[in-house]
Amino acid sequence: MLALPQLAAQSRAPAVQRPAATQPAQSALIERGKYLAQAGDCIACHTVPGAKIFSGNRPMPTPFGTLFAPNITPDPETGIGRWTAEEFYQMMHTGRGRDGKLLYPAMPFASYTKVTRADCDAIFAYLRSVPPVRLVTREHDLRFPYNNRNLLIGWRTLYFQEGEYQPNRAKSAEWNRGAYLVEGLGHCAMCHTPINALGGSSQQEAFRGGLIPMQNWYAPSLTSNKEAGLGNWALKDIMDLLQVGVSNRGTVYGPMAEVTYNSLQHMTDDDIRAMAVYLKSLPSDEPPRPAPTNAPLRADANQMFSEGRRIYADKCASCHGAEGKGKLPHYPPLANNQSIIMTSAVNPVRMVLNGGYPPGTKKNPMPYGMPPFAHELSDGEIAAVVTYIRNAWGNRAGAVGTRDVNALRSATIE
């Protein structure tokens, strides 16, 4: 008789499955972590195209050599399988690895330090849920003296300020959410801020634009109305550019197209709107000015204008229109287009040379693209047509030189 209660107790014991009771909460945490990892665009660096997700070893060329992103799958030997949530947070927050080594700033810890502990824990839970991949991360290939991590102490002193994002109580909850995403997980300033010879950037120069090292694309200033300043953009146009990839004010190409594809298209409308609200509020270097339609052509531009007009009529007008007005939303306007008349002509030259497509997104799954003309047009002809579009229809910008085109033609295509 005594055996019966024992058997009953034994049969009841397995039924108390506490882990199962917390499974919905864990699933929700993992799903939230996936969303946040997408907001942080983790896949862009930690996944070789076509390889298993987060298995690392994607090369990241820099002016100092090549870095290789680590394996962040939960493999215990080659990934983060033995990490704790505390160790992961400390890495994100301080820019130090589990072994205490200083991380190279290609890992955007200067932005990720702003991420809250709760969000870090969610990202960690998601990373621990993906299939483990046993793959040893390659050693960085950096030139001397940049392979000496001790030099990072000086870099951190100059350019790294540790600390989670602190809300601005004078601003709305929506503005603060946008600031948190843009300055933290989104790490937008990494591309849109000038980088000096030491690979650093100052807070004073934040969002003022700069050439993306080794990729030969220019990330425009988000504070200058001569470039991509958003102060006079409608919120919907900013949201569409970020999330859809095309808007009535422009289209994303190059590295930004990858950001939209991997990250921004997956974010909620509310979060994209919050980012747009914050970006639109960035202080402008100068007030918006109308296009100088009556300004005379610069002398150097005038020499190339006629040839460029002929090439434009033959190759470009069918999509962008004889007057450069485009055909919205698929063919962006070139007249009074800030991305065309920036001081840097890198991006329009790259587009004429290499063509490209905006990303295929949930809200624009079949984007219209631009064909490459590198095989049809000489360096001189491309210089002429880009000079033309930078000075037609009221646009006014400097002429593009043949050498400028040749340098981009010869560069590695990214």
The pair phi, psi for residue 357, each rounded to 5°, is -125, 140
Is 396 in contact with 292 (CB distance < 8 Å)? Answer: yes
pTM for the predicted model, two decimal places: 0.84
What gap in Å lies between CA 226 and CA 103, rounded to an integer?
Answer: 36
Cα–Cα separations (whole angstroms), residue 130 to 32, 78, 121, 133: 14, 14, 15, 9
Answer whether residue 346 is part of any domain: yes
Q: What CATH number has the domain bearing residue 334?
A: 1.10.760.10
Block means of pLDDT (10 residues each) for the chain, 414 residues, are: 37 44 86 97 95 96 92 97 97 95 93 97 98 96 91 90 96 98 93 77 73 75 72 90 90 90 96 96 64 52 85 94 89 87 89 90 91 94 95 90 90 55
Enter the tokens of residue 336: 């009074």
Statement to judge: residues 117 and 183 lie in one domain: no
Cα–Cα separations (whole angstroms), residue 401 to 170, 203, 348: 48, 33, 13
Q: What angle do the packed helices 23-39 and 117-127 form, to 10 degrees?
A: 100
| Total tally of structural domains belonging to the chain | 3
Instruction: Look at residue 279 in the predicted model and tell me its pLDDT.
Output: 93
Closest CA to 159 of 228, 214, 206: 206
Statement to judge: residues 33 and 113 lie in one domain: yes
Q: What CATH number has the domain bearing residue 240?
A: 1.10.760
Longest distance between any two alpha carbons in the chain, whole Å: 107
Closest CA to 112 of 37, 61, 55, 46: 37
Statement to judge: residues 270 and 339 lie in one domain: no
What gap in Å lies between CA 123 and CA 34, rounded to an integer?
Answer: 6
Answer whether residue 293 is part of any domain: no
Answer whether residue 286 is part of any domain: no
Q: How many DSSP H helices and E strands does the chain contain?
A: 18, 7
* H or E element in which residue 250 lies: strand 250-251
Answer whether residue 8 is part of any domain: no
Statement to judge: residues 33 and 71 lie in one domain: yes
Give me the domain span that covers residue 201: 173-280
Closest CA to 104 of 45, 24, 52: 45
From 251, 280, 309, the end of a domain falls on 280
Answer whether residue 1 is part of any domain: no
Statement to judge: residues 189 and 312 lie in one domain: no
CB-based contacts of 210: which residues, under 8 Å, 6+ apart? 191, 192, 193, 194, 195, 201, 218, 219
Statement to judge: residues 304 and 265 lie in one domain: no
Statement to judge: residues 181 and 152 lie in one domain: no
From 125, 159, 193, the end of a domain falls on 159
From 229, 251, 280, the end of a domain falls on 280
Instruction: Look at residue 341 in the predicted model and tell me its pLDDT.
Output: 86
Answer whether residue 164 is part of any domain: no
Answer whether residue 7 is part of any domain: no
Statement to judge: residues 219 and 267 lie in one domain: yes
Cα–Cα separations (whole angstroms), residue 3 to 7, 12, 16, 67: 6, 14, 21, 65
Answer whether residue 343 is part of any domain: yes
Statement to judge: residues 33 and 155 lie in one domain: yes
